[in-house]
Amino acid sequence: MADKKIRSVAKTFSWRLLIFIYWMIFGYIFTGTFKGASILGFGSIIPLFFYYFHERVWNRVKWGTNQ
C-alpha cells in the first residue's frame, strides 16, 4: 500500500522541520552567531524537494512490501 501524495508532503515537511531545528541549534553552537546558524538552517531546506520526489519514487517500487 503506497502513501497518498498529501502524506508524503506531510512526512517531508515534518522531517525537514526536525532537520532545520537541528541545524539551527548545531549552527549556533558551532558558530556562536544567529547568522551562521541561519545559513546552515536555511541550507537544510533545499533538500526538502529532493526528499519529496525520492519518497514518491519509492512509493512506486513494490520491492520489500507486503502485497
The number of angstroms, rounded, from the C-alpha of 55 to the middle of its chain's C-alpha atoms is: 11
C-alpha cell at 45: 531546506
Close Cβ partners of 59 (under 8 Å, ≥ 6 residues apart)? 2, 3, 8
pTM, entire model: 0.61
Question: Is 67's pLDDT higher than 70?
Answer: no
Instruction: Find the length of the chain.
Output: 67
Backbone dihedral angles phi then psi of residue 11, each to the nearest 5 degrees: -65, -40
Q: Specify the 3-state DSSP secondary structure of 63.
A: coil
Q: What is the dihedral of CA 22, 28, 31, 33, to 10 degrees?
A: 150
Task: Give the pLDDT band (50/70/90) at residue 29.
Answer: very high
Question: Is 56's pLDDT higher than 80?
Answer: yes
